[in-house]
Structures are given as C-alpha cells and as structure tokens.
Amino acid sequence: MEYASILLIPLVHELGHWLAARLFGSRLSFTFQWGRLGPIPVPRWTWAFPDVPKWQLRIICLAGFGMEFAILPFMPWQ
C-alpha cells in the first residue's frame, strides 16, 4: 500500500491543478516531456498556463500542493 501511495501523490497533485482550472472555467491539457535531474532523464507531465487573470492563475498553481495537504490525513504513515 505504501508504494501505491507514493505513485498516487503526483496524480493527486496534478488533479489539484486541473480541478482549480475547471473551477474557473479553463481547461488544462497535459503533455508528456522528458526533463533532466542532473544527468538523469526524468518523465514529466507539463501543462501551459491558461489565459486567466493573475489571481486565478496563482490559485491554480497552488492547488496542487493544496490537494496533497487535503488528502494527507487519508494517507498511510510511511
């Protein structure tokens, strides 16, 4: 179960961004890219900023971590 929760965290994080954008009537489309962590290639799902007012964009950007904190009580202790 612990390994599944580690895989669940990035999905929940991105779900937070997506839900916040939908709340403001925007859509986020995610694209797959390869990033770099030093010499190591890492997979990344990225999205472009929607065309919304700056205050809404701030909420969309912070919503990923907000969603992670919201599910924290339901996650098993590692």
What are the tokens at 23? 């709340």
**Is residue 56 domain-resident?**
yes
For residue range 22-65, list pLDDT tens digits in order.
999 999 888 999 989 899 998 888 888 899 999 999 999 999 99
Domain that holds residue 7: 2-30+50-73
Instruction: Kindly state the helix (H) or strand (E) to which residue 40 belongs, with its residue range.
Output: strand 40-47
Whole-model pTM: value is 0.79
Q: Structurally, how many domains does the chain consist of?
A: 1
**Is residue 78 domain-resident?**
no
Confidence tier at 78 by pLDDT (50, 70, 90)? low
**Is residue 40 domain-resident?**
no
**Is residue 13 domain-resident?**
yes
